């Protein structure tokens, strides 16, 4: 069995992203391969890491398109299953006037939900350094049971576990169920990536520092990564806290995949430095590189196939540093 740096499990789907209008004034949608766990893996592949995906797609044209995209990216498809009865999950992503995104999912059911416990290749997990997952694989059965089993396998093998709630409210039967399952995820991870909106939603606290303290008191998560959109990001490890500004990009098209790009960069650095004894300087450097990469991906459509090279992120940092020195602004 091959060894992997990161194995991720979860949803793999087609995002229909609006890309202009036809001559008749109808919106044109581009079918992009997406899925938060695979976006994370795609970023890691760009950084030279070895990765594998566990999940399920339909035995249809879209499923084959997704398999091809993973192979082209270098992500191992050894753990990818095909469902002959349920079609590949689809999502329509439209940009709202304020620049935020509106998601419409076609997943009642979708193939990603149908992954069964016995289909999960747990040897892939046991031979990984990090196992990564999100809450979308906890929304329904049978994939919920399959995910819990995978987490248990990772814990028994001493594999580091990272979790991203990646809350999509329309996919949950109720917000109560979403909180219950995300609570489970928070209790079963060493590394947490959470957005400002998710943090407020889960804790009920609008003060981020109070909300983080609340999380850490209940769950004792060693490393917490807080993404703040245009306000940058923060990291919390032991008594150490770090913050880095965002790289605001005037060429931004959309923000799909920005958080996953950020997470991929952070896991790359965690593989180098660990997650338990990071000092402030370490975390600032990690956040800066991750923020730069996330900024670049907002200028491109279809995150999975177009993740930035590390050199691009370093150039983005250098360009911003020169601008700060020259003008005193970010």
Q: Cα–Cα distance between 265 and 47 in angstroms, integer?
A: 8
Element at 30 (helix H, strand E): strand 27-34
Tell me the average pLDDT of the chain. 93
Q: Report pLDDT for 99.
A: 53
Q: 112 with 14: CB under 8 angstroms?
A: no
What is the structure's pLDDT at 328?
38
Looking at the chain, how many residues does it have?
330
Query: pLDDT > 70: what percent of the chain?
Result: 95
Give mean pLDDT, residues 158-175.
Answer: 96
HSE (CB half, 13 Å, CA atoms) of 263? 32
Quote the pLDDT of residue 58: 98
pTM recorded for the entire structure: 0.94
Contact criterion met (CB below 8 Å) for 64 and 14: no
Question: pLDDT digits over 129-157, tens only?
Answer: 999 999 999 999 999 999 999 999 999 99
pLDDT at 303: 85
Residue 317, Ramachandran bin (φ over 0: left; ψ between -120 and 50: alpha; else beta) = alpha
Q: How confident is the model at residue 104 (pLDDT cuts 50, 70, 90)?
A: confident
Report the SS3 class of residue 105: strand
Per-residue burial over 294-326, b if 16 or more Cβ lie within 10 Å, else e, is bbbbbebbbbbbbbbebeebeebbeebeeeeee
pLDDT digits (tens, 9 = 90+) for 195-222: 999 999 999 999 999 999 999 999 999 9
Averaged over 33-44, what is the pLDDT?
A: 97
Rounded to an integer, the average pLDDT of 276-296 is: 96
- Of residues 56, 50, 44, the one with CA closest to residue 9: 56
Predicted pLDDT of residue 248? 86
Q: How high is the pLDDT of residue 100?
A: 61
Q: DSSP string of 44-83?
A: HHHTT--EEEEEEEESSHHHHHHHHHHHHHT-EEEEEEEE
pLDDT at residue number 322: 52
* Lookup: tokens for 169: 């409210």
Q: Is residue 42 predicted with pLDDT exceeding 60?
A: yes
pLDDT digits (tens, 9 = 90+) for 84-93: 999 999 999 8
Secondary structure letter of residue 27 according to DSSP: E
What is the rounded CA–CA span in Å between residue 24 and residue 1? Answer: 54
Domains in the chain (CATH in brackets) are: 4-325 (3.40.1190.20)
pLDDT of 159 strictly over 70: yes
Of the chain, the percentage scoring pLDDT greater than 90 comes to 85
Tell me the average pLDDT across 224-234.
96
Q: Is the pLDDT of residue 327 over 60?
A: no
Of 319 and 111, the structure prediction assigns the larger pLDDT to 111
Query: How much is the pLDDT for 177?
Result: 98
The predicted pLDDT at position 98 comes to 53
> What pLDDT, in 10s, does the model give residues 303-315?
899 999 999 999 9
29 beta partners: 18
Residue 165: predicted pLDDT: 97
Counting Cβ atoms within 10 Å, is residue 33 exposed (0-12), middle (13-18) or buried (19+)? buried
CB 185 within 8 A of CB 138: yes
Could you tell me if 89 and 111 are in contact, meaning their C-beta atoms sit under 8 angstroms apart? yes
User: Are 235 and 241 a contacting pair, CB within 8 Å?
Assistant: yes
* Residue 326: pLDDT over 60: no
Who contacts 56 (Cβ-Cβ below 8 Å, separation ≥6)? 12, 80, 81, 82, 83, 111, 112, 114, 115, 119, 143
**Structure confidence at residue 323 (pLDDT):** 45
């Amino acid at each position: 069995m091959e060894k992997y740096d990161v194995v991720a499990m979860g949803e793999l789907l087609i995002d229909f992203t609006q890309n202009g209008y036809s001559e008749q004034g109808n919106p044109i949608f581009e079918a992009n391969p997406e899925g938060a766990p695979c976006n994370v893996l795609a970023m890691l592949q760009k950084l030279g890491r070895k990765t594998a995906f566990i999940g399920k797609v339909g035995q249809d044209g879209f499923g084959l398109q997704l398999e091809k995209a993973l192979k082209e990216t270098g992500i191992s498809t050894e753990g990818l299953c095909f469902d002959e009865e349920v079609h590949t999950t689809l999502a329509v992503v439209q940009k709202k006037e304020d620049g935020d995104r509106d998601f419409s999912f076609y997943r009642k059911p979708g193939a990603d939900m149908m992954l069964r416990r016995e289909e999960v290749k747990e040897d892939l997990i046991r031979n990984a350094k990090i196992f990564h997952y999100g809450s979308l694989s906890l929304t329904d059965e049978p994939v919920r049971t399959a995910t819990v089993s995978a987490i248990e396998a990772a814990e028994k093998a001493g594999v580091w576990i990272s979790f991203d709630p990646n809350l999509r409210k329309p996919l949950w039967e109720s917000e109560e169920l979403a909180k219950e399952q995300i609570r489970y995820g928070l209790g079963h991870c060493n590394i947490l990536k959470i957005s400002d909106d998710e943090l407020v939603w889960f804790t009920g606290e609008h003060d981020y520092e109070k909300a983080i303290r609340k999380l850490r008191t209940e769950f004792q998560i060693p490393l917490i990564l807080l993404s703040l959109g245009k306000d940058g990001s923060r990291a919390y490890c032991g008594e150490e806290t770090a913050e880095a500004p965002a790289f605001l990009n005037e060429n931004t098209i959309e923000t799909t995949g920005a958080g996953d790009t950020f997470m991929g960069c952070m896991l790359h650095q965690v593989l180098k430095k660990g997650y338990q004894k990071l000092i402030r300087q370490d975390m600032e450097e990690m956040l800066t590189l991750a923020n730069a990469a996330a900024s670049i991906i907002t200028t491109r459509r279809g995150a999975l196939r177009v993740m930035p090279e590390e050199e691009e992120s370093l150039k983005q940092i250098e360009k911003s540093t020169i601008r700060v020195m020259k003008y005193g602004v970010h």
